[in-house]
Structures are given as structure tokens and as C-alpha cells.
Structure 1
């Protein structure tokens, strides 16, 4: 049996080692695969982040302005900041030498003020294998060492618009990879340790018990054998009254004698047991083996669960079979000792579980005597306090008193415990190092059978980090992370309090709403880091110019709210004028540039006539945007009779109507045909949107889209249109054979909405609509205003097979200058040129020029506002590819392009 156990242990250990080795190798391969994927993703981001024309023929040092070079460095650095990658950069080869054309920098390099100029710096100690990438034109992973350190790097060949080859690259530090590998190895070793530690107590228990049982059995058998020969009568009496079951069996394994305890253990009478043949009737294989061992002259031993075949009793049995020999040395039977150890085993198991639970408890456990002197501490105690057991045994727990807990707490603690009750509370304790920590304590008295308190047991949990996190969460829930000001949620609570106070006590207060004018210019030209820094500086300036009791908040974006508590309107207006005056003198500086800062502010009174906090917010919002519409950098005080505010209220009403329509799905789709003019092709359709009011009247987009743009709801409408259009196309694919494509309009707000872009990509990839049938339209003004976002947006969806049309082309002042930077497929000529093409030669020249330039750039052209057959004929003569307008078709419910008119 022993050899089997050790063999099982050996197999167990071998299996653990083999499995962990296999798992470690697999996890290491996955780790390197993840690292390489991260390198490739980061390297491929370099061309998207850098200006399109940075790589070109005949590049030379100095032909790129230093401010653009540094701006490129900051953009690349912003990208890698939240990744494992340390550097991304681009390389070019000239005269068999490698030169940097861009590179990111670490936060340490930026903070240290190191030279951040990278353009055309020579890569003097480059690995020769990098040059091979230009020759093979294949991606290559290398582990390199240069003046910046040791890295695992990827080098990906790229080609610029004019055919100039260059390399996009990314580095991860070898030390970072090694740390990740070490962490993985430590995890595996930790897992192996857990498995092995599980085995140790089993082996120790088994080996100790085996030796003890063997020694005890030999002693008992020797003593009983001597007693048997000395005094058979005395032995018989001892056997009969023995606390263990004893029986004799002959060489055929038949029972010849059983004692009283044996009868009790088996649960069958003596007359049934005597004559019972064990070899013929026992079914337990291990018990039979122990019996056979004794019949061959060896000591037989059995321990484990057993069910008697006669009395049908279940027990935990310890059995010893001792062989007996005659005078010739032949085995003539044996004596067996049976002991029912069920209660003992159960008690030991419970005690072991309790001991293990206490020792391995995730909480500190301390046991003291009735005087409070420490008698036991578990392992977690040492981890938490730094004291080992020998340093505190016999000591009083006041050793941990930091002096920060009020004496009343300890008084209540002892009064509770000495009354026999459990005490719960939080103490501010001190570690061995002197560091303070918060401990949540549960202390209970332990009593004896007479109800007397003999000990106290304390369970303690270190909640220092929990309290810190709780405090942080509480602060974050009520404050803006960027400026440290109150956030919208907490400010609205304060506003509700003030409004209630004004109504109950006739007090007078003023609410102010501030919006920074032209804030988007900072973000677009200098990046979001600059925008965030400007918001922090402006918030500090405003906070310095108002009273300490005034409540300042940043609800989001470039907006601030001020609650002038117990203030007159004139006082509040003067305070905001002071803020505007100092802001006019203030210049926000970022790198080598500086910007003026101007604000628009709205004020409204809070007094007993103010109905609700929500109404006050609406009023001050209206006043602020009235100031902005009136020319910016000014203050406007809310008045119910103000015409400008009435217009803005109309926007607010439409914004509320749009929210309700989105929630209640009260938009519907229309479509207008786009007709081919130069060839026999299938027509296309442009999707248009209508809003259905509560009386089922159709509202044209011109009524509600301006409000959607003002209140940043346009992208939500775009999402609704995209979702419903793609679903409609999927549901009606069989009826779209006569249609070339469906065009969907996108607002300017959507071009910078990464979440919407991801939604479109997922919808297309998981949908059933062929991407060749999907077109998107963006207006020229929106594309130019969001040029970088528009380029990324267009390229991502073109990679899926979608097409793009540039709407209202020609309406901008620099239309042709920007056209080469917008990779669109179609140009929609602005209808203001098409409408008078027959009577105004300038309009005709514009249409001709746009059409010709579009064709030169491999783009198709679409003329809008084609309202007569004569205009259509002239467009055919000019070579325009498509026409759209009332002469072709009027907008109609989208289902009409498949079948007769249906309800919207």
C-alpha cells in the first residue's frame, strides 16, 4: 500500500511539472505574439499620425520646420503613452545611410527637456539588418541594441504618395519583455508551489501515522502474546473488556472467538460472528489484503471507511491482523484488533479544518487570555503588522495603539467584551515600522462550560487601502478629475439646495454659466493636452477672482458654472466683468505659441420666484448662448422677453423633441434618386430623414437639424439613420437589384466620433449588405473643419469597400486647395451653381471646372438642384456623371423605391 501511495505521489509531481512546463511555454508564446501584434499596430499608426507629405523625393535636413517636427514628436508620444511600446518612429535611407524622419519621446525625455528634434537625424549605430527591409520590402522583427538601449523592434516598409520608400517602426524594451516573462514564470512557479504545498501535509500525515501504527502494533502484539502465554484466563478477561474489538481466526480465516467490543463494532451477535469465514464473505479488497498478509506471516493493517457485511454498519475502521504460529512455526490463524475511530477521525478532521482556516485566514487572528496578553497570532498578523509571533507573545495589544483612536473607543470595547458581548469597530493601529493603518476589528469573548470568560479572539482586516479608495471615489464622484472643481452632479445638488433655500427664506442668489469662446481651435491646433492645460489655468484664474464662498464647477467640456450665494445680480455681474477683464489680459502659452482667451457668460437670478433648479439651468444656458450668438466675449442676463433668448429657447425645445423622437423611434427614412447621365447604369438613392411629431405630421430636417448641431445631437441622429438604413437594406436585399448604391449623410460631429466609427465598422462587418452598395456623404465645410478626422474616417471605411461623396462642393473658399487631401470617390456640385447654369455664365464655368477637376482626380461628379429638363440636358453636354433634383424625382418614403407607397 505504501509503495502505491509513493508511486501516486511521484506520478502527481511529474504531472504537475509537465503540465506547468507546457502551460508556461504556451503562455510565453502568447505573450510574444501579443507583443509583436502591439508593435505592428503601433508602427502602422505612424503614417496615419504624420502629415501625408512628410516623406518625399529629395528630402534634406532642414526642409521641415522645427515646430512641425516637434509637433510630430508630441503626437507620436501621445499615441504610445498608454501602450507597452516605448518608441514609434519612421526611417528613410539616403546614400546608403539611415535617417530618422520622426520619433516619439518618453515622458522622462520630455520632462528633462531633451532635444526633441528628430527630422533627418542620422541613425549612426543602426543594426545593418534594418537596411535589408528596404531591399526585401517585407516586415521584419529584430532584437537590436543601440545608444537608446536594447529593444525588440518591428520595421515595416512603407511608400509615400510620390513613391518614396520609408520604414515605419516601433520598439519595446527588452527589459520590459523580460519582466513580463519573469512575471509569467513567477505565476507558474506560484501555481506549482500551491500544488506541492497541498501534497506536503498529506505525505507528512501518512508517513507519521504509518510509523506510529506500526510501532504501536508491534508493542501491543508483543505484550498480548506474552500475556496470552502467561495467563490465558487473565487474557480472556482483558480481551472481553477491551475498549477495542478483538477476535481470533483460524488458518482458514474463520472466526473462532470475538470479544464484546467486537460485537458492538460489527453490530451482529456473537453466534453470527463465530464461524464467519472472512475470505469467503469480505468484499472490501484492502481489508482482504490485510487478512491475507497475516495468513502469510506478515502483519496486516487496514484503515479507512468500512461497511460490515453482517451488521451493515458504516464506520471508519482501524484494523490490525497479527499472524499466530504453532510450535512448528506454521501459521495456524491470527488475532485481529478492530477499532471504530469514526468519532476520533471526525473530530480530528474538524480540528484540522479549523486550524487551517485560522492559520490561512485572509484576516489577522489574535487570541489573548482574559487579561489581554497575546497567546496566539496567525501568519496574516505578521504580514500586516511586521511583528513575528515571538515578538508579541505575552505582550498586551496596546503595543499597536497609534494614539490616533479616541480613548472612548477602547472604553466601549472593554465594557462590551467584559459583558460577554461581541465588539465591532474600526481602530487606527500602528505597525512595527511605525506606519499607521486602519483596522476593522471583530473581538469576541470565549467562555468555558461554566460560562466564564477564558480568552478573547480578535479578527482584524486591514482596510487602509479600502478607506483610501473610498475617499478617492467619493472625491471623484463629486469633483472634476481635470480641474478639481465640483462636477455637474454635485453642483446640481448644491443648486437644488440653494433654490429650496431661496423659496423658503426669500434669499437672493445668482447662477452663472460660462463657455470658453473658440476653445476648439486650441484642441485642433495644439492637441487635447494643450486644451486640458488651458482649462486648468482658466479654472484657477476664475477661482481666484470670485469669493471663497461662491461655488465653482466644471460640468464638462469648456463650460463652467458659478453659484453666487447670497449675492445681488449687480455683484455677480461685476465679478464676471473682473474675470473677463483678467482673461483679456491673459495669454495662454503652449510651446512657442500663445492664444487669447475669451468667454461668453450668462446670468440668471435665483429667488423665491425660481421654480426649480432645472428651470434655472435652462435659463442660464439660454443666456450664455445668447451672449455667444451676440458676438462672444460678453455677458448676457436672462430675461423672459429677450428675442434672442426666445430663438435659443426654440433650439432647446427642438433638442428636447429630438431626444424624445430618438427614445420613441419617431424618425423615418425618405429617399431621393440620383440619376446616371452619361451611361446606361443603375440609379442610386440618397437617404433623407424626417421627424414625425405627436400628431403624425412630418417635420423636414431644416427645422430640427440646426438644434441638433447646436446641442451635439447630430451624431446620435446619424447613428439612428445608419442603423435603420443598413437594417432596411439587409431586409430588402432581394428588391435592390435595380439600385446601384444607397448614400447616407454624415454630420461634421460624426467625423471625430470614434465610437460612431467603430459602430459603423461593426455594423458593416456583421451585416449582410454588400459594401459596394454603401456610400457616405459628408459636406465640404464639415470635412475641411475636421480634416484629419475626415481623412481617417474616410480611409477606414474605404478599406471595407464603402465609397464617399463630398457634398456641397464649391461652397468653401478653398475648395480646390483641400480637394487633393480628401480621398473621396464622388463630388456633389453645390446646387447654388447648378440652379442658374442656363442664365449665369459664371455658374456654368464653375460647374465645368469642378467637373473637369473631379474627372482629372478620377472622381465622379453629381449635380444637385436639377429642377428642369433643360438644366439636365446642359449637364449631359458638360459631361457631368449624375444628376439629383426635382427634375429627376422628389424625396419619397424609402419603401417606395421597392414597391407602391407605404405608410411612413
Structure 2
């Protein structure tokens, strides 16, 4: 029963002890009494209706044995619940960091099977934007669904842990399938199909780092290695898997320290001496001589090299400095346009890709409109690029922002279209002037992938809505005839022009620095760019396939 004292018996002989209790329990009592003359231990009693936990107390007497059994099942269940709570995330039901460390400690001590253990570290990309736009309840729904998807896709091969916020870990334990394959499955489980918070559908991508376990490692060391690989995946552009390689840790540590030093200096001085602007041409296709460009941000490292700022931007987002950087990029771009107002009259546009964090910040959007108003004479040349995912997360607010830009003469472009499961019916309503199609669909032209149909559909849709189409990631001359047949208006990529310093773009546009230009400015002839190799610039950049200022 459930009473505190289940039973108390006095037995005279060992045979009577065996008769009074199950054999294995009777033998344990007898053994304890033989060794210590009294016993006090916990016993799990298996019953048809389930198991019970008993506290067994016994002692020898002159005439036999006194045995007392107390049902402590409720106490053990409460104890188990507390242990479970201390090792699991309350929201998702996954392990928490403490629970993962406990599991790792046990597995890392089993040297014979250590080669079967790896750890993946997963960070959801730009999850803060989703939280800011939809609210924390929607964000929590996505977090729960992430764990459900990982469990469903990885099955018995993995244990899932939530490390805090939007970060997860996957403990892989087993020989088959290969852990590298499971890491890619984990990424596909998250990014392979949209999340749904009715009536909206939106994409969530992730950066995944994986590290195999090594002999002599602690749980913290293995977690740190996987986390470093995840950071590298973010630095390389997000939405990918990076496997930790020995020898890379010191370089990653030094790079991370440089990034932190830059941000600390920026916070103290508000000086941007570590940053420079570059630009990549956006070229009209076919018989067109149209020319535009996209502003890019570059980080000048201590050795003087210009590099992609991807890792620096991730650190800025983490430390809440992204709006500061975006304001500087916006102001520098507008001042540059203002200085070259007369010379740039024949250009179609100069576009600026603002970060998702800035575009979800109402104070920044107010600042954006005020600066465009300040430089309203060059506003018709400015195009603000808005990532498809950001735009579709809150179409109403983006429509208001784009409307405000249009009133001032500026325009907007929807970026990475097709990569985030865009609601096609919403494109015409949001008011953009340009559709920048995700580079994956352009790349499909080379290997005859199914993405060609998507590229064609998006181009036709854009034209029907009076929107110009831009193909990204044009990396081969072989792509150009196909893009022209489809009717794409502009192309952007290495074969049409590599990222370059601003003064070189001025020359490309037919501007000689310091030379006064007449009103009869000659429209630049940019078609030859498509027929020659892009010039090598003195800019080291790692994001040529997906150029961004962020």
C-alpha cells in the first residue's frame, strides 16, 4: 500500500526470511546481517503494476531477525524529478548545459568507444530578429520545434541539448551513420523547410560546428571546440557546417581577439578607422549599358589587409553594436553619393544592404529616413536592400518603411528572394523596385538544376509587377546567355566585376578624380565587363559569392 510502513516482520530462521520476502531481497538482507549485524538500504521492488522503492531496515535479535520495510516511492520520484529538472531545459524538454556536461563526462571516460563520440554546436542565425518582430512566444514555438525536428531527423544517434537562448548542442554517439553526415542532417532539419506561425511561413537557418571527442578532453574543452567551429561557420557566412580541425584553434582565437579589440575601440572612441567601404558593380544585361553598385563593408586588419567583416559583424550583433556600424555605413554612403552627385547622374543606383538587426529597430528606421531626407538630392540613386526573410516577417512595418523611402525619392530592393520561402503574393504589395534573386538559383544554370525554373518564374513575376530583376552570384561567362534569354535585367558577381575600392568604381563610371564634368555626362559603357575577366583588386574578401556590407 501507500502507508509509510509497508510491513514489519520478525522471523526466526533464514528459511522463514526467504518465505517472508522475495528471494533476492531476502538474500540481500541475510548478507547485510551476516556482515554488519544490522542493515539499512534502499531496494527497488518489481511488481506487475510497476516498481516500488523500499527502505529496508533489519537487525539481528536473540531469536531471529527484525525487518522493517518503508515505502519511499514518492520520495524517490521527487528526487528523480529534481535531478531531471536540474539537467533538462524546461521549455523544450532537451538536456540543458549541465545535463550535457554530465553525459559527456560519462562518455569521455569510456576510452574504448571514444572514437564514436562527437559534438555539434548549433546557433540559429539572426534569431533575435524573429523574437523582436513576432515576440518571444513565437520564438519559443520555434525553439520547441527545432528540438522536435532534430530528434525526429537524427533519432537514436543523437541527444539534443539547449545551451541557452538560441544555441543548441547535439551529442552524437555511435559508429554509423558518419557524424559528418549527421551534422549536415541537423542543419537540413532546421533550414530545409520553413517554420509556420499561422498565417506566416518563414525560413530559419543555422550555423553548425562539429568536433570529434579526443582522449584526455574534458567536457568543457569539447564544447569549446564545437562552439569555435560554429563561430567559424558564422564567420564564413552562416547556414553551413564547419568541422573543427586541429591547428585552427589558435588562429581562430587570435582573429576573435582582434574583433573584440575593434569593437572595444569603437565603443570608446566612436571612430571607424578599422572600417572601409568597397563596392561591387551591378551590371545591366543584354544590350543594356545600365550600371549600379552595391556598397560593401571591409575590415582593415592590423597587418593592413582588407577582409570580409563577417566575424566582426557577428561579434557586433552579440555585443549590440550593429546599429552603430550601420549608421556609419549609411552616412558614408550618402556623403559619397552627395560628393559625386553630378558625376553619378547616369548611374541607375547605389544599393546598401542594412543588417536585419537595424531594420528591426524602430529608432534606426527613424534615423534612416531622417538621413535620406537630409541628402534628398541624391535619394533617387539610393536603394536600400532588405533581406527577404526580414521583409516577410513583418510585411506591414516593412511596407511603411519602404513607403517612407519612396516619398523621399529613394527605393528598396528585396534581397535573397527565393531563399527564405517568400510569399510571392506579397512581393507586389510591399513596394520594392528591385528583386535580387538568391544566388543558388543563378548557380543552377551551370549544372542544369531545378533552380532554373524558380529563376525564370521570379523574373517573369518581377516584370509583371513592374520590378527589375537582379541575378546574384554570376560567376561564369556561361551563365550570361541563359540569364539574357530568361530576361533578367541585371547581374552581379565576379565575372561582371569584383568588389573594388570606391575610387575605382568612380573611374569605372567614367569619372576622373578631380576633373570637372560637363552636364552632358556620357553614360558609361559597361558591357565589356561581361566579356572579360574581373580585375584582381587589392582587397582580400571571403564573401564574393554573397557580398554584403554586413
- TM-score, structure 1 normalization: 0.30
Structure with bigger gyration radius: 1
TM-score, normalising length: structure 2: 0.48
